[in-house]
């Protein structure tokens, strides 16, 4: 299952946005207020969406100033969340991409909540 957020503009330049995203504690600022958020080390955090199991994400890959890839730390819900960063004038543009391998029933159940979550994260990036 592959889901993409809309492309959003931020006031941060690519380097600033990249540095913001590689400090996982900053993801709390992007998440909806009712989301459970707990740091689990320097590059990993746990979050819980309403109606979904808690999920731990950790940084899997960093490509300076252009991409940050987070991945679930559980084999039960294996997926990645990628943020692509593109220079745009004085700021930057960002797009979030969710990629997971789920059976049809699971994909049907989580598609709506994940799509909504991606848009909430994108809105958070837009406000930076």
The percentage of residues in the chain with a pLDDT greater than 90, rounded to a whole number, is: 73
pTM: 0.92
Range of the domain at 51: 2-126
CA 14 to the chain's CA centroid: 16
- Residues 51-110: tens digit of each pLDDT: 777 889 999 999 999 999 999 998 778 899 999 999 999 999 999 999 998 889 989 988
Count of structural domains, the chain: 1
**Per-residue model confidence (pLDDT) at position 27:** 95
Longest CA–CA span in the chain (Å) reads 44
Give the CATH number for residue 44: 3.30.530.20
Asked if the model's pLDDT at residue 18 lies above 80, the reply is yes
């Amino acid at each position: 299952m592959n889901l993409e957020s809309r492309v959003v503009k931020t006031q941060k330049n690519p380097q600033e946005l990249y540095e913001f995203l590689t400090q996982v504690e900053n993801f709390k600022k992007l998440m909806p207020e009712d989301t459970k958020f707990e740091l689990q080390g320097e590059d990993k955090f746990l979050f819980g969406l309403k109606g979904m199991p808690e999920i731990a994400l950790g940084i899997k890959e960093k490509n300076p100033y252009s991409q940050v890839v987070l991945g679930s730390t559980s084999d039960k819900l294996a997926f990645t969340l990628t943020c692509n960063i593109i220079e745009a004038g004085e700021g930057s543009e960002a797009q979030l991409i969710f990629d997971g391998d789920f059976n049809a029933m699971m994909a049907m159940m989580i598609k709506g909540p994940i799509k909504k979550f991606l848009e909430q994260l994108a809105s958070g990036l837009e406000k930076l």
